[in-house]
Structure 1
Amino acid sequence: MAEFIMVVGTSSNAGKSVLTAGICRLLANKGYKVAPFKSQNMSLNSRVAKEDGEIAVAQYTQSIAARVEPSVHFNPILLKPKGNYTSQVIVHGRPYGDMSYDEYRNNKNFFFKKIKESLEILNENYEYVVMEGAGSCCEINLLKDDIANLRVAEAVNAKAILVADIDRGGVFASIYGTIKLLPKNWRRLIKGIVINKFRGNKEVLKEGIDKIEELTGVPVIGILPYDEHFYLPEEDSLALQRLKSFGNKKSGVEVNVIRFKKISNFTDIDPLKYDSFIRLIDFCEEITGDILILPGSRGVTTEVKILKEYNFDEKIREFLKDGGIVIGICGGYQTLGRKLLDKNLKEGDVKDINGLNLLDIKTIFGNEKITKNSSGYYKDFLIKGYEIHEGYTYSKEKPFIKIVRGFGNCGDGYDGAIKKDRGLIVGTYFHGIFENSDFRNYILNIIRERKGLERIEGDKYKDEIERNLNYLAKTIDKHVNLRIIW
C-alpha cells in the first residue's frame, strides 16, 4: 500500500512540477520505491512510456527523478490541443478521440474512473506516490468538473502541499484566497504551504507567515530560494514565448530553430544548449546559424503553407549552398518533402499541399497513430529515441536510420532520410535524437572542425539533469519541513 502526497498550486507555474520532481528524487535517494503522478495534463510536449504510450514530458522527467521506468499510469489523461477549442484526448497512453471542452467535461466521470484505475495500480506497486495538480487548485468556475486537483487527492486520502510563487507578488493574498475558496472537505487536505522562488532575507516574511498561518490554520512548511541557474526540461511551450535565444554563447556554434506556430516536443533541442548557442527564429527572419532545425508541430500542413508564404524554402536552399546542416524532426521532417496529403484534415485546415521539396519523400496522414520507443543505427552510432506521429512517409532518399525497434517511415525497417547536397539534410521521426551524445557530438563536431575548434566529447546534458535533480532534492530537504507529510 502506498502513501499519497499531492502538490497543488495557487496558480500555473507556481512550481508544482519542480517540487514534485524534487520530492520524488528525495524519496528515491532515501531508498523508497516512488512513482510520480498527474491525473490530467495538457501539453504538446509528450514522451513515450514503457508501454509505448504517451505521457506528458513533466511526468517523464519526474520518472527520471524517481529512478523508475515511466508508465502511462503516471499520467492517465493527456490532452493535446489541436486548435478550434479541440484537443486530442489520450487515455492510458492511447488516442481516445478529439473532443471539445464541453464534450470532455460531459464525460468526466468516465475519465475519472480511468484515473482511479491508474491510482489503484500505483497503490499496489509503490511505497509513495507523489501527485501533481494542474494550474490553480481553486478555479471556482471549474471546481465541479475538476478531476486534476483535490478531488483526486480526496479519492486516495492524500496529504496536500500548496505551493505559491512569491516572485509574481501577492503571495499571501493568493494563499489565503486559494484556501478560503476551497470547499471544506478539500480544504482539510492541505497540510502545509510552500513559498517558492524567494529572493532575499527570509526574516522579512516572518510577520506575513505568522498572519497567514493564523488566518488559514495551515503551517508554512518551507521557503524555497529562487535559482536562475536551475534547469529541468520545460513542459509548456509558452516558455518559448519568453525566449529568443539561450545556450552557450561562447561555444562557437549557432543553432537556429524555426518557431513553428504549433511547435511540439520542443525539448528535442534542449541537449544542444551546453555546446551551442540556440536562436529561435520566426518565419520572416533570416537563417544566421550553422545548423537549422525544423522541430515537431501539431499542424504540419499549416506550417508548410506559412513557410512557403515567406519563401523559407529558398532561404534553406541558400543556406545549404554555404554548407549548412538542416535537420527536420517528425513534423519538421515531413515539411521537407515533396507532398503532404491530409484528406481528413488531421493536421489542420489545409488538405493537400506541396512541401519544401528538399527531400524526395511523400507523407500521407490519417493512419493509425504511432507511439514507440525506438532504436536503430546510423553509421556506428546506436540511436535511441521515441516516435509520436500519425503520418506515414514514403521515401526515395537514402534512409537515415536502420531500425532495430520501432516503426520509422512506414514500417519498412528504416527511419528518415539523409541527403548531401553541398550541405547536409537529415530527416527523422526519432524524437530525443540529440539525447544520444555520440550523435549530438558528431553533428556539432562537423561544424567545430570546419571552424578549427576543439572537438567535444562526453554527455553534459545527462550529467546536468542528474546534477540538478540531486541539487533540487537537497534544497527541498534543507528548506522544507516534510516531517508533517511523512
Structure 2
Amino acid sequence: MTSLMVQGTTSDAGKSTLVTALCRWLKRQGVAVIPFKPQNMALNSAVTVDGGEIGRAQAVQAQAAGLVPHTDMNPILLKPNSDVGAQVIIHGRAVTCMDATAYHDYKRVAMQAVLESHRRLSATYQVVMVEGAGSPAEINLRANDIANMGFAEAVDCSVILIADIDKGGVFAHLVGTLELLSPSEQARVKGFVINRFRGDIALLQPGLDWLEARTGKPVLGVLPYLMDLHLEAEDAVDVRQAPKAESSLRVVVPVLPRISNHTDFDPLRLHPQVDLRFVGPGEAIPSADLIILPGSKSVRADLAWLREQGWDRAIQRHLRYGGKLLGICGGLQMLGESVADPLGLEGPAGVSHGLGLLPLHTELAAHKQLRNVRGRLCLGDVEVTGYEIHAGVTRVPETARAAVRLDDGRADGAVSDDDQVFGTYLHGLFEGADACAALLRWAGLASVERIDYHGLRERDIDRLADLIDRHLDTDRLRELCGL
C-alpha cells in the first residue's frame, strides 16, 4: 500500500482536480485506488453508502476511482454555520458544533478518527490518493494540523505541491510555501505541478528551470487551462456558463449566506436551454421564469437575511406575474408556515415565520436525516433520484399534494394548489434527464432537450486523466504511487 498526498499553495489551486485526475488515471491501469481527504470544510456534501455524509468533491473522486462514496473517504467534515463556528461531522455523523478556537484544540481527537479511516483504507487498497486542505503554509494552523503536513508526517507519505498559475505569482507561491515548511516536511515534497497554464510553454520553461535549480525539486508537469471543464465545486459557487439564447428559460437562485449543496444547480448551468443566474447581496431579483430557493446550513438566519434583502417581496411579485417557485431542502422549509428550532441547533432557540407559500411546518431536530432515495416525481410521473441531508422534520397535511412519492412509501414535500410552488427535500433533483425535463417543462420550457449530466461528468473526468498522460511525468508518478 502507498499513500500519495496532493497539497496546494492556496485554496482552489487544483488539489481536488488533480486527485480526481489521478484516481481515474490509476483506475485505467487496473490499480485499486481510493480518494481520501482527512479534513474538509465545505457546505456541499454527499450521502454515502454507509449512511453518512462527506464532502461533495470526495464523492466525485470516488466516481473517478469507480467506487461508491464511503465515510472513510472524508472522516472529518466541517460545515460552517457562522463566521466563526461550524458543525463537526466525524465518520459521516454530526457530533457537535464548535467555534474555531475550540476546534483547534479538538483536533487531537479528530486526528484519531482520521488515522482510523486511513488504516482501514490502507488495508484494502493499493493506493490511497490523499487531498490536503487550504495550504500547508498557514503557519497559524500548524499546531495539531490534521489536514496537510501534520497528516503526511503521521502516516509517512510523499507530497505533490500544486499551484495555480492563473492567479499569478506561481513561483512565489511554490518557493514561499516550501520555505515555510520544516526540513522534514520539505523533504516530503517530491515535486511540483503547475495548474491552469495558458500560452506558449516555451515562455514558461526558463521559470521552470529556475524553480528546479532553486528548490532541488522536479516540476512534474504543467496542466493546461480547460475553459469548459466541469467538476462539482467543493465550496465556491461556480457561475460559469456558455452564452445562452434569448429564448432560454430564465432561472434565478438567490445566494444565501449559508447556501449549501449549490451543486444542485450545475445541471441547469450546463443545460443549453437554461440561463441560470445567481443573485447575491444587494442585488435585485430580476425577471425570471423560475426562482429556486436553495439549501441552507442556517435556515432561520438565512430566511431573516432574505427578508432584509427584500427578496421576499420580489418572490411575491414574481408569483403574481405567474412565475414558478421551487424550494430545495432549506428552501422547502422557508416556503412553509414556520421553522422552529427549540433546541437552538442553528442559533438562539425560537420560531421563525416562513414565507407561507406551502401548508407545512418544520421543527429542527438533533438527528440529521441522511438518505439516498428514489421515487416518482408528481410532475409527469417520472422517476427521480436524489439524496436527503437535513435536520428538519416537516409536517405536511395529508390533503396536500406531494412533490415526490418515494419508493420507501414516504411522501416528500408539497406542491401548491395553483401549481406555482414546488418544495422538496431532494438534492440532486436535476441530475436525472427525465426529472430535469419534467421540472423544466413545469417551469415553462415547451420543448426540452435531454441532457446526460452523469455522462458529462464522466467525460470531463476522462479528459482530466488524459491530461495526466499528456502533460505530467507519468514514470515519476508511478514511482511515487509505489508501482
TM-score of the alignment, normalized to the shorter chain, above 0.5: yes
Aligned pairs for 1:329-478 within 5 A: 329-349=328-348, 351-379=350-378, 380-396=381-397, 397-405=400-408, 413-421=410-418, 423-447=419-443, 450=446, 454-457=447-450, 459-478=451-470
Tell me, in whole angstroms, the C-alpha distance in 2 between the residues paired with 1:359 and 1:481: 57
- CA separation in 2, counterparts of 1:360 and 1:139? 48
Match of 1:249 in 2: 244
2: CA distance, partners of 1:402 / 1:319:
28
Deviation at 1:207, TM superposition (A): 2.0
In the alignment, which residue of structure 1 is the partner of 2:31? 32
Aligned match of 1:42? 41
C-alpha deviation, 1:305, in angstroms = 2.0
Offset, 1:447: 4.6
Distance 1:358 1:88 in 2: 30
Aligned to 2:192: 193
- 1:137 Cα deviation from its structure 2 partner: 1.5
The 3-state SS of whatever aligns with 1:215 is helix
Cα distance in 1, alignment partners of residues 453 and 234 from structure 2: 17
Distance 1:303 1:154 in 2: 40
TM-score by length of 2: 0.93
In structure 2, runs of 5+ residues without a counterpart are 479-483
Matches of 2:177 and 2:341, distance apart in 1:
45
**Which deviations, in whole Å up to 9, do the C-alpha atoms of 1:306-328 show, x marking residues without a partner?**
33345544433332343322110
Distance 1:258 1:449 in 2: 21
Report what 2:304 is aligned to: 305
What pairs up with 1:50-449 in 2 under 5 angstroms? 50-237=49-236, 239=237, 243=239, 246=241, 249-250=244-245, 252-273=248-269, 274=271, 275-282=273-280, 285-349=284-348, 351-379=350-378, 380-396=381-397, 397-405=400-408, 413-421=410-418, 423-447=419-443
**Offset, 1:460:** 3.2
Aligned partner of 2:472 among 462, 480, 486: 480
- Structure 2 distance, partners of 1:144, 1:206, is 37
Q: CA deviation at 1:77?
A: 0.2
Per-residue displacement from partner, 1:438-463 (whole Å, max 9, x unpaired)?
Answer: 1101121345555xxx3322x33222
Identity among equivalent pairs (%): 39
Are the equivalent residues in 1 in contact too, given 2:55–2:77 (CA < 8 A)?
yes
Superposed CA deviations along residues 84-124 of structure 1, whole A, max 9, x for unmatched, are 51111000000111112222121222111110110111111
How far apart are 1:247 and its partner, in Å? 5.2
Alpha-carbon distance in 2 for matches of 1:99, 1:312: 31
User: Could you tell me which amino acid in structure 2 is paired with residue 175 of structure 1?
Assistant: L
> 3-state SS of the aligned residue for 1:376?
strand
With normalisation by structure 1, the TM-score equals: 0.92
CA distance 1:322–1:174, shift in 2 (3 Å): same
**Aligned partners of 2:120, 2:327: CA distance in 1, in Å?**
38
State the SS of the aligned residue for 2:325.
strand
Once the two structures are TM-superposed, the CA of residue 271 in structure 1 deviates from its matched residue by: 0.8
Partner of 2:481: none
Q: Is contact 1:448-1:455 (8 Å) kept?
A: no
CA distance in 1, matches of 2:200, 2:243: 31
Judged with a 3 Å threshold, the aligned counterparts in structure 2 of structure 1 residues 445 and 248 are, in CA distance, closer, same or farther, namely: farther
- CA spacing shift, 1:225–1:309, aligned 2, 3 Å: closer
Q: Which amino acid aligns with 1:414?
A: A
Structure 1 CA distance for aligned equivalents of residues 420 and 30 of structure 2:
47
Kept in 2, the 8 Å contact 1:47–1:56? The answer is yes
1:150 Cα shift?
Answer: 2.1
Over the aligned positions, Cα root-mean-square deviation in angstroms equals: 1.9
Match of 1:408 in 2: none
Quote the Cα distance in structure 1 between the aligned partners of 2:32 and 2:122. Answer: 11
For residues 286 and 140 of structure 1, the distance between their equivalents in structure 2, rounded to whole angstroms, comes to 41
CA distance in 2, matches of 1:92, 1:319: 42
SS in 2 for 1:435: coil
Displacement of 1:415 after TM fit? 1.0
The verdict on how the C-alpha distance between 1:213 and 1:255 changes in structure 2, with shifts beyond 3 A counting, is same
Shift of 1:151: 2.4
Distance 1:45 1:447 in 2: 25
